[in-house]
Chain A
């Protein structure tokens, strides 16, 4: 059976990884290839690069980053941040990205999901949803890095993106992000049970139990982790050993 995926997320700004792996053996702290290779060796199942560049130049550099990573890292990786056209998607995929993740542009132009899936296949279109709780079992979709509300209901939007052809949902709880007190399990489960496509849980992980909960109670197919891994609070082998001992399928 398919295993639970552990996915490190790396923020890239103007071609350099920011807040990357804090590990003294890492030669060049901000080098995307070094960071990617490090996690690949540790047993990461996939990688996500989030481009947080503020400039057009920075965006162009991202394509070079993608290329360099794809030359030496042979596990799947997703690129997100600032993608707003079919052309953007094509540039990233043809330079070695396996999937692209869209968030704001998906809300603004849902057709992008449909066209992207038709042209490149559903498996490479990830829609990222940033969710904020607004009531009992109710969440609202936020865009522009969680700054702007959309009035969209998260569950309805999740169903819609699936219909449009998204192959996966990367679901982040804005309320839980950075708290380290656990994922929004209810949110994750509600979304996962309402769509057929895999859901990646993100936001709130602080300890091993949280990852187990996201999978078993939240029905997530994968978990996305950032600072917890970068600061070596948890390591991928440690996470996998724990989940394995709890009876989950992981790739050891």
Chain B
């Protein structure tokens, strides 16, 4: 069973649709009790960092998620759900889960449009079974104004360039984080989610 965290409001329907399309069953997690029923957790990205963290705290999911993740459940954080993994964000000046070192900063290049909106390449800089059947440097869909900066080079598996190189895929043990939206990235995005749910990357 794939648990999809429902917090705040916005489009999590597409994540649910993508998982169902792949043929897996989903359940919405909007309270801590439900989290024990699932074998995979997906934390979608909707809204902004400050409001998102507050929602998760209010719903008592903040601790529950961190606890589960630390106990080894396969976890996929998408966009904002990926940014939460770091220590701090400039958006709303809030602390994140601090599972990884690093911070989330706003794009500041004067010449480039913000949000970084649209299809951009992801370069796989390390190998993983998560990338099975996806060509290196394929395009994925991005929609964000903030990017993660981490001193933990070892967890960065994919990078994208938008004025600067930023981590677009991180993998560490049972944790996957992606800055792009795999549920909106056409066929390659669906293959990515399928690979995640097949779990070969865990070994």
Closest chain-A Cβ to B134's Cβ sits at a distance in Å of 14
A94-B11, A95-B13, A120-B9 in contact; A168/B117 too (CB < 8 A)? yes
**B144 interfacial contact with A, CB 8 Å:** yes
A1-B120, A45-B118, A121-B48 in contact; A70/B14 too (CB < 8 A)? yes
Please tell me if the beta carbons of A121 and B119 are within 8 angstroms of each other in the complex: no
| CB under 8 Å from chain B, chain A span 49-103 | 67, 70-72, 74-76, 90, 93-98
Please tell me if the beta carbons of B143 and A96 are within 8 angstroms of each other in the complex: no
A196-B113, A198-B117 in contact; A76/B13 too (CB < 8 A)? no
- Residues of B within 8 A of A (CB-CB), count: 40
**A222 interfacial contact with B, CB 8 Å:** yes
A2-B142, A123-B144 in contact; A70/B13 too (CB < 8 A)? yes
Please tell me if the beta carbons of B118 and A222 are within 8 angstroms of each other in the complex: yes
Cα–Cα distance between A98 and B120 once the two chains are bound (Å): 18
Please tell me if the beta carbons of B9 and A2 are within 8 angstroms of each other in the complex: no
Closest chain-A Cβ to B53's Cβ sits at a distance in Å of 14
Chain A residues lying within 8 Å of B141, measured Cβ to Cβ, are 75-76
Cα–Cα distance between A5 and B117 once the two chains are bound (Å): 9
Please tell me if the beta carbons of A94 and B13 are within 8 angstroms of each other in the complex: yes
Closest chain-B Cβ to A164's Cβ sits at a distance in Å of 15
| CB under 8 Å from chain A, chain B span 1-15 | 8-14
Find the A residue at minimum CB distance from B184.
A76
Please tell me if the beta carbons of B117 and A119 are within 8 angstroms of each other in the complex: no
Please tell me if the beta carbons of B114 and A93 are within 8 angstroms of each other in the complex: no
Please tell me if the beta carbons of A197 and B9 are within 8 angstroms of each other in the complex: no
**A111 interfacial contact with B, CB 8 Å:** no
Find the B residue at minimum CB distance from A192.
B113
**A35 interfacial contact with B, CB 8 Å:** no
Please tell me if the beta carbons of A122 and B145 are within 8 angstroms of each other in the complex: yes
Cα–Cα distance between A123 and B107 once the two chains are bound (Å): 14
Please tell me if the beta carbons of B48 and A3 are within 8 angstroms of each other in the complex: no
Residue picked from B46, B113, B118, most chain A C-beta under 10 Å: B118
Q: Which of A3, A121, A167 contacts B46 (CB 8 A)?
A: A121
Closest chain-A Cβ to B178's Cβ sits at a distance in Å of 15
Please tell me if the beta carbons of B14 and A197 are within 8 angstroms of each other in the complex: no
Please tell me if the beta carbons of B17 and A71 are within 8 angstroms of each other in the complex: yes
Please tell me if the beta carbons of A118 and B48 are within 8 angstroms of each other in the complex: yes
Please tell me if the beta carbons of B118 and A96 are within 8 angstroms of each other in the complex: no
Closest chain-B Cβ to A236's Cβ sits at a distance in Å of 13
Please tell me if the beta carbons of A96 and B162 are within 8 angstroms of each other in the complex: no
Complex interface: stretch among B34-42, B94-102, B185-193: B185-193
**B161 interfacial contact with A, CB 8 Å:** yes
Closest chain-B Cβ to A142's Cβ sits at a distance in Å of 25
Find the A residue at minimum CB distance from B114.
A196
Closest chain-B Cβ to A227's Cβ sits at a distance in Å of 24
Please tell me if the beta carbons of A76 and B10 are within 8 angstroms of each other in the complex: no
**A13 interfacial contact with B, CB 8 Å:** no
Please tell me if the beta carbons of A221 and B115 are within 8 angstroms of each other in the complex: no
11 contacts between A and B (CB under 8 A): A2-B119, A3-B120, A40-B186, A75-B185, A76-B143, A93-B10, A96-B11, A123-B115, A123-B117, A196-B113, A198-B118
- What 4 A-B pairs come out closest when comparing CB atoms? A96-B13, A123-B143, A251-B119, A2-B118
Q: A119-B47, A197-B115 are in contact. List 4 more A-B contacts (CB 8 A).
A: A76-B141, A118-B51, A122-B145, A221-B113
